[in-house]
Amino acid sequence: MNIFKSIKWRLQLWYGLILVVVLAGFGFTAYQLERGRLFGRIDDELHRRVEVLKSALHRPPPRRPEGDEPPFDPPPPGQFSDEGPPGQNPRPPREFHLPPEAAHFFDPSDPNSFYFIIQRGGKEIARSTNQPDKIVLIPIWDLMNSANTPPPRLPNSSKPSYVANFFEKNVQAAETLPSGEIIWVGCSIAPELNELRLTSLKLAAFGAIILIFGLAGGWWIVSRSLRPIVAISSAAVKISAGDLSQRINIAEAESELGQLAAVLNSTFARLEAAFAQQQQFTSDAAHELRTPVSVMLTQAQTALNRDRTASEYRETVEACQRAAQRMRRLIESLLALARLDAGQEVLKRLRFDFLKTVSECAELVKPIAEERGVKIFTRLESVGITGDSERLAQVVTNLLTNAVHYNQPDGEVCVKLESQNGMALLTVSDTGQGIAAEDWPRVFERFYRADKSRSTGGNGLGLAISKAVVEAHGGTIEVRSEENVGTTFTVRLPLA
Amino acid sequence: MRILIVEDEPDLLRSIAQALREEGYAVDAAPDGEDGFYKAENYDYDAIVLDVMLPKMDGWEILKRLRKIKKTPVLMLTARDQTRDRVKGLDTGADDYVVKPFDLSELFARLRALIRRSANKTTNVIEIGEIKIDTALRNVFLQEKSVELTAREYALVEFLALHRGEVVTRTLLYEHLFDENESSLSNLLDVHVSNVRKKLGAEFIVTRRGHGYCIE
């Protein structure tokens, strides 16, 4: 199975994707918040350092009074040597001593914890011993140097300006005092960066765990909700392989898939019934054909066993003819049924008087009835209907023949034709042995015989064909019977 | 050998009965279930050919009732060839099963096998001294030479041979060699016995006076 075409995998993929996006958004936000918090802490730290140095600088100078404004002068050679005129140092720098309470801020062993104070003009007042070589002071220095005036970005700023260098894990801040000094401090951000990395690792781990649990849970839910589909498809596979007795095992009848399974189950049941009916019909048809074939075979084989007289041959040929006639009638009936089933039978649509058809049929059946001592009584009204008079005549003949055949000797057959509630109503009643109530609907089934014997000569298809013809005319046929009293068949056809 | 055929299709019944008679069997015919069961109950047939679909009482019912009282071999004849029908037939007590349409030769072979099995014989050939009876060919050999017997004479020899060592009463012989339509002329049997003795030797069939005949 292609996993990109499988619903299960596609659901899982989308689900996982959405989960990843949500987790990533959540993680990014948390990371940003933590980062802001840590950077705020660094700001505070730098600020504290600047404040300590500021207050130490503003203490009244112990010996030397403050002089004039020094000329703008670059710091000592090194980083700044290319910017200012070297070697000039007209005024001694203001003296500065790191107060003891600030000592813990500037640990000499940490190269990132430094301070650097210059006067306006670039003269260095003090610097810590551990100022790193690579420290970059350029941005502010550039500004101050290029315009030869106090840089616009640092006019009496009370807030420090920051420069962070993540590669060196340090951060620097500079503040220009109103008196003109610039205080430059640095501190290490390694602990914060470590903390931040730890936080991001924690977030990643947390996210991964949630993702794993989420995917597993999603897989479980998807599998669970798709389980009926698996059941449906496995049942359908078995059914398509020919086992029509298979049904879908429905655990949750209320869910959408449960309802679908119920619908499919009832479809399967109807399919099975239809197949069984078809199989029964085929088997019955084969059965009906087998008996006449057996007759022909045994007759012919017996006759051929030895030489026979002419009359014996004649008998054999007559028996074979009877068998062949029987097969022909059966084949014609089967074909008629098959055509009616398929809707291929083209029925004529002509208006005619049903009275004429019924009385003709009654005349036709009369000789057979007289042979058996059965009397036929008719009470017929003129009724105009539309349809195929030939086909309907077959129906009437069939009903009359049955009424005669299944009658008792000296019995009666009553045929009544009238119009009632917009329908033509034909009733054929006999005084025969009757049909048990449970068999009423079955008499119209193909090959069904109430008496199980073939002795009556019919092939068990007459009533099935009659029903099909009447229904093709938009009518109905039904039977009512009382055992040992008689049977009545009622045909209703729409009036023309 | 006397056989009962129960079949509701008259043309089929007539031709099977005729063919079996020509094979030398005594044949009784029944056109419906009730008649068939009545005959099966009241005569000891050597085999019964029974159709399944019958008016009045179907083949299954006849078989079920018959099995309660008799072990007569029954060959079911039916137009249904589904396995479950065959299984049902054999389970109900049928000894064999032939599906319509069938060949007469197959039906006869199965009947011969049924009769042979019911007499506890496993082969077609019965040997009695110098005489050999081939029940498949329906032929008798004396010292490896074929002996011409009429169908009735052959039936007499076969029936006695299948009951070898038993004394078979005249009544029993009549019941198995003649069918219901033949008038039982008592000396007809003596004629057949004397003809067989002429052809196969006087000592072949022993007369037990007052009891019947016997092949020892």
Query: Which of the pair, A143 or A41, is modelled with greater confidence?
Result: A41
Domain that holds residue A377: 350-494
B113 and B134 in a common domain: no
Cα-Cα-Cα-Cα torsion A233, A239, A244, A245, nearest 10 degrees, comes to: -40
Which CATH number do you get for residue B186?
1.10.10.10
A370 and A336 in a common domain: no
- Check A302 against B103: CB less than 8 A apart: no
Domain count, chain A: 3
Query: Which of the pair, B183 or B138, is modelled with greater confidence?
Result: B138
Gyration radius (Cα) of chain B, Å: 18
Residues in chain B, overall count = 216
A444 and A320 in a common domain: no
Between CA B195 and CA B199, with CA B198 as vertex, the angle to 5 degrees is 90
B87-107: burial string, b at 16+ Cβ within 10 Å, e else? ebbeebebbbbbbbbbebeeb
Which CATH number do you get for residue B103?
3.40.50.2300
Q: How far is B59 from chain A (nearest CA, A)?
A: 12
Q: Given B118, B136, B164, which residue is the final one in a domain? A: B118
For residue A328, is it within any domain?
A: yes
The reported pLDDT for the residue numbered A24 is 93
A29 and A162 in a common domain: yes
Q: Given A195, A212, A241, which residue is the final one in a domain? A: A195
Per CB distance under 8 Å, which residues of A are interface residues toward B?
Answer: 283, 286-288, 290-291, 293-299, 301-302, 305-306, 316, 319, 322-323, 451-455
B140 and B191 in a common domain: yes
Query: Which of the pair, A68 or A1, is modelled with greater confidence?
Result: A1
B3-14: pLDDT as tens digits: 999 998 888 999
B85 touches A at CB < 8 Å: no
Query: Residue A72 — very low, low, confident or very high, per pLDDT cuts 50/70/90?
Result: very low
Q: Which of A102-116, A297-311, B70-84 has the highest mean pLDDT?
A: A297-311
Residues in chain A, overall count = 496
- Check A291 against B100: CB less than 8 A apart: yes
Cα(A331)–Cα(A337) distance, rounded to whole angstroms? 10
Q: Taking a C-beta distance cutoff of 8 angstroms, is the pair B29, B9 a contact? A: no
Cα(A143)–Cα(A461) distance, rounded to whole angstroms? 114
For residue A228, is it within any domain?
A: no
Q: Given B65, B84, B118, which residue is the final one in a domain? A: B118
Domain count, chain B: 2
190-209 in B: which are within 8 Å (CB) of A? none
Instruction: Report cis status (omega within 30 of 0) of the bond before B101.
Output: yes
A367 and A398 in a common domain: yes
Average of per-residue pLDDT values in chain B: 85
Mean pLDDT value of segment A230-258? 80
Cα(A411)–Cα(A50) distance, rounded to whole angstroms? 132
Q: Taking a C-beta distance cutoff of 8 angstroms, is the pair A289, A327 a contact? A: yes
CA–centroid distance for A324 within its chain? 59
A437-494: pLDDT as tens digits: 888 888 888 887 766 555 555 678 888 889 988 988 889 999 998 888 889 999 999 9
Q: Given B86, B118, B150, which residue is the final one in a domain? A: B118
A430-443: pLDDT as tens digits: 998 888 888 888 88
B55 and B15 in a common domain: yes
Cβ contacts of B105 on chain A, cutoff 8 Å: 301
A203-215: pLDDT as tens digits: 999 999 999 999 9
User: Does residue A108 carry a pLDDT above 80?
Assistant: no
B140 and B49 in a common domain: no
Nearest chain B alpha carbon to A318? B11
Q: Given A148, A169, A195, which residue is the final one in a domain? A: A195
The reported pLDDT for the residue numbered B136 is 79
Mean pLDDT check: name the lowest of A7-21, A93-107, A307-321: A93-107
State the DSSP code for A375. E
Cβ contacts of A297 on chain B, cutoff 8 Å: 101-104
The reported pLDDT for the residue numbered B119 is 78
pTM of the model: 0.56
Cβ contacts of B56 on chain A, cutoff 8 Å: 453
Cα(A276)–Cα(A279) distance, rounded to whole angstroms? 5
A376 and A295 in a common domain: no
The reported pLDDT for the residue numbered A40 is 86
- Check A305 against B19: CB less than 8 A apart: yes
Cβ contacts of B9 on chain A, cutoff 8 Å: 291, 294-295, 454
Cα(B161)–Cα(A136) distance, rounded to whole angstroms? 133
- Check A293 against B101: CB less than 8 A apart: yes
Query: Residue A21 — very low, low, confident or very high, per pLDDT cuts 50/70/90?
Result: very high
User: Does residue A154 carry a pLDDT above 50?
Assistant: no
Cα–Cα nearest to A358, from A408, A418, A409, A407: A418
Q: Taking a C-beta distance cutoff of 8 angstroms, is the pair B47, B112 a contact? A: no
B203-214: pLDDT as tens digits: 788 888 888 888
Query: Which of the pair, A124 or A192, is modelled with greater confidence?
Result: A192
The reported pLDDT for the residue numbered A168 is 62
At residue A179, the 3 state secondary structure works out as coil
Mean pLDDT value of segment B124-138? 82
The reported pLDDT for the residue numbered A489 is 93
Average of per-residue pLDDT values in chain A: 79
B32 touches A at CB < 8 Å: yes
- What would the two tokens of residue A389 be? 């008079």
Domain that holds residue B39: 2-118
Which CATH number do you get for residue A449?
3.30.565.10
